[in-house]
């Protein structure tokens, strides 16, 4: 910049801008790098298209004077906010700056975050938050708590209108965990990110329990056990790739369609090998992901929540260039039975797809909801019914393919016709019945079996008879709850044709404030 007239003012401006770019200063940047972490601005540069970032609020400071805080003022006040593009699509972004007072949230920091959330909401584009924070700035007390409350309010305000994604790359303590939890997707960097409401020290004091940061709230813990994390990234670079890939499947907001990404995969492509994936003995497991990969464009499936409740599979793919949300049972894990975690996982994914105009494809092979006092006592009724609720509520195009077992409540839950699924296909290998043959015979023929001379022989005879009659798709087809029994080889073209037929689906419900999903 030429200094010319007003040179003092320009010098002052340059000086302030330089200072702001340094966040908490050189030492803190070195310390951040020393922990193998990038700074907030470096992260934003990694995420956004080169040169597209425009920072807003770079010269913000806090205005707090207790606890000698006037001597700890840093431009930006621990949050970097602004806008830019990812693959040429507009996004708003905020990143906690750990080099400033541990990335803690102040009143002004919260104001910066909610400012960009307001802008994003008004223009209808995604918000990406990069978390690395000690939580509420203790010195600011209630002001900081109020700041978090404001952010939570904005998370809710944007929910279902603009996609919100969290990249968790450092500690997220206290209040800093709940905002990510209210976003649509959380990516955590392994061995770097931690998320917990109260840290190991408090846990030890209150409960006497010794636990490390990583065990308590590390990426793997949240990916496998709590389900807070949808993805585990090996490092910050992979983390940003996850954000970019996710966004590539999503529309900018709920009033748009997802982007169409044309490719050269033939929409009429058949796969004659698909039938061979299903074992002769339906009690034997197989990998549902083989079928999912086979039907999708270029065999690409972007799985979400891969490590959490793997008895159900959810994720995005494309069919003839259009984004679809896939929900499928996984016979390899717990025989594909539906339990509490898998019901929650699938229900949340279905609701996300419904918010953002993403058609839902369901592949079914499940023996039912998981029995047992453990699941009953933890609330399988309450949680399992979320799956029913979310399928009923979804008005996007819905297509179900019954591949193997579809028994009882799980048959109903996995996108059955009467939950208002638009098109229901079945493979010839489908078994659609109220119960598995063995269980059905034990109940229906209990007295006969008790009296029989050779109960085993009689049971086998009755089971075979029941199986012949009901372990097929044809009874359901005769009642019209299966529209078409299809050749497995033609699953891909049949899905694409159905999606084309349903492209202009309209399904308006009566106005209401919101439903009361059984949380």
Report, as residue numbers or ranges, the catalytic residues: 174-175, 409-410
Least CB distance from residue 235 to ligand HXC, whole Å?
A: 18
**151 vs 432, beta carbon nearer ligand HXC:** 151
| Residue from the set 29, 91, 131, 136 that interacts with ligand HXC by CB under 6 A | 136
User: Can residue 134 be called a binding residue for ligand HXC (CB under 6 A)?
Assistant: yes
Per DSSP, which regions of 321-456 are E strands? 322-329, 360-366, 398-407, 423-426, 431-433
Q: In sequence order, which residues have a C-beta less than 8 Å from that of residue 333 and are 6 or more positions away?
A: 310, 311
> Of the candidates 240, 118, 228, 239, which has an alpha carbon nearest to the alpha carbon of residue 172?
228
Taking CB under 6 A as the binding criterion, the range among 133-141, 227-235, 330-338, 453-461 that sits at the site for ligand HXC is 133-141
Least CB distance from residue 72 to ligand HXC, whole Å?
A: 7
**110 vs 335, beta carbon nearer ligand HXC:** 110
Size of the site for ligand HXC (CB under 6 A): 17
Q: Which residues pair with 95 in a beta bridge?
A: 80, 130
Q: Are 398 and 360 in contact (CB under 8 A)?
A: yes
Encoded one letter per residue, x for contact with ligand HXC by CB under 6 A and - for no contact, window 194-223 reads -----x------------------------
At residue 166, the 3 state secondary structure works out as strand
Least CB distance from residue 166 to ligand HXC, whole Å?
A: 16
Least CB distance from residue 129 to ligand HXC, whole Å?
A: 15
Least CB distance from residue 215 to ligand HXC, whole Å?
A: 14
User: Can residue 137 be called a binding residue for ligand HXC (CB under 6 A)?
Assistant: yes
Taking CB under 6 A as the binding criterion, the range among 8-16, 97-105, 218-226, 435-443 that sits at the site for ligand HXC is 97-105
Least CB distance from residue 134 to ligand HXC, whole Å?
A: 2
**135 vs 218, beta carbon nearer ligand HXC:** 135
Q: Which long-range contacts (CB under 8 A, 24 or more apart) does 53-58 make?
A: 53/82, 53/83, 53/84, 53/93, 54/82, 54/83, 54/84, 55/80, 55/81, 55/82, 56/81, 56/82, 56/83, 56/112, 56/115, 56/116, 57/81, 57/82, 57/112, 57/115, 58/17, 58/20, 58/21
| Residue from the set 109, 158, 163, 171 that interacts with ligand HXC by CB under 6 A | 171
The residues in 98-127 that bind ligand HXC, with binding defined as CB under 6 A, are 101-102, 104
Distance CA 78, CA 34 (A): 19
Q: In sequence order, which residues have a C-beta less than 8 Å from that of residue 312 and are 6 or more positions away?
A: 327, 328, 329, 330, 336, 338, 342, 343, 345, 346
| Residue from the set 46, 178, 409, 438 that interacts with ligand HXC by CB under 6 A | 178
User: Can residue 146 be called a binding residue for ligand HXC (CB under 6 A)?
Assistant: no
Q: φ, ψ for residue 245 (rounded to 5)?
A: -65, -45
User: Can residue 30 be called a binding residue for ligand HXC (CB under 6 A)?
Assistant: no
DSSP state of 139: G
**C-alpha angle 381/385/391, rounded to 5°?**
165
Q: Are 208 and 202 in contact (CB under 8 A)?
A: no
Encoded one letter per residue, x for contact with ligand HXC by CB under 6 A and - for no contact, window 248-287 reads ----------------------------------------
Query: Which residues here bind ligand HXC, judged by CB under 6 A?
Result: 101-102, 104, 134-139, 145, 148, 171, 173-175, 178, 199
């Amino acid at each position: 910049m030429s200094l010319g007239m007003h040179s003092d003012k320009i010098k002052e401006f340059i000086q302030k801008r330089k200072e702001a770019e340094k966040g908490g200063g050189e030492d803190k940047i070195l310390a951040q790098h020393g922990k193998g972490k990038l700074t907030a601005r470096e992260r934003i540069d990694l995420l956004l298209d080169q040169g597209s970032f425009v920072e807003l609020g770079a010269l913000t400071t806090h205005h707090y004077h207790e606890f000698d805080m006037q001597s700890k003022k840093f431009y930006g006040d621990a949050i970097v906010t602004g806008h830019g593009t990812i693959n040429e699509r507009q996004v708003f972004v905020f990143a906690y700056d750990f080099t400033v007072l541990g990335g803690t949230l102040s009143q002004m920091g919260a104001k910066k975050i909610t400012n960009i959330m307001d802008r994003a909401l008004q223009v209808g584009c995604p918000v990406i938050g990069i978390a690395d924070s000690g939580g509420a700035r203790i010195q600011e007390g209630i002001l900081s708590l109020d700041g978090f409350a404001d952010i939570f309010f904005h998370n809710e305000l944007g929910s279902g209108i603009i996609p919100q994604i969290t990249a968790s790359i450092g500690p997220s303590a206290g209040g800093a965990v709940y905002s990510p939890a209210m976003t649509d997707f959380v990516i955590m960097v392994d061995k770097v990110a931690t998320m917990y409401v109260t840290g190991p020290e408090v846990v030890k004091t209150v409960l006497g329990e010794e636990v490390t940061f990583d065990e308590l709230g590390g990426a793997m813990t949240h990916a496998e056990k709590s389900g807070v994390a949808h993805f585990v990234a090996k490092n910050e670079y992979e983390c940003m790739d996850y954000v970019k890939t996710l966004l590539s499947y999503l529309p900018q907001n709920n009033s748009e369609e997802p982007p169409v990404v044309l490719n050269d995969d033939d929409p009429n492509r058949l796969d004659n090998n698909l039938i061979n994936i299903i074992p002769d003995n339906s009690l034997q497991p197989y990998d549902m992901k083989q079928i999912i990969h086979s039907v999708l464009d270029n065999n690409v499936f972007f799985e979400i929540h891969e490590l959490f409740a793997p008895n159900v599979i959810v994720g995005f793919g494309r069919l003839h260039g259009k984004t679809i949300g896939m929900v499928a049972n996984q016979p390899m894990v717990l025989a594909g039975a539906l339990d509490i975690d898998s019901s929650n996982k699938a229900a949340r994914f279905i609701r996300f797809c419904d918010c953002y105009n993403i058609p839902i494809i369901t592949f079914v092979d499940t023996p039912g909801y998981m029995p047992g006092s453990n699941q009953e006592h933890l609330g399988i009724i309450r949680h399992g019914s979320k799956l029913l609720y979310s399928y009923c509520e979804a008005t996007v195009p819905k297509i179900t393919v019954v591949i193997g077992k579809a028994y009882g409540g799980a048959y109903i839950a996995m996108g059955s016709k009467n939950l208002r699924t638009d098109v229901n296909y079945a493979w010839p290998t489908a078994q659609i019945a109220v119960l598995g043959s063995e269980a059905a015979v034990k109940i229906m023929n209990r007295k006969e079996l008790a009296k029989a001379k050779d109960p085993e022989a009689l049971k086998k005879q009755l089971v075979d008879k029941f199986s012949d009659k009901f372990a097929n798709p044809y009874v359901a087809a005769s009642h019209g709850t299966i529209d078409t029994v299809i050749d497995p080889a033609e699953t891909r073209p049949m899905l694409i044709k159905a999606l084309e037929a349903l492209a202009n689906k309209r399904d308006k419900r009566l106005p209401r404030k919101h439903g009361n999903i059984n949380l």
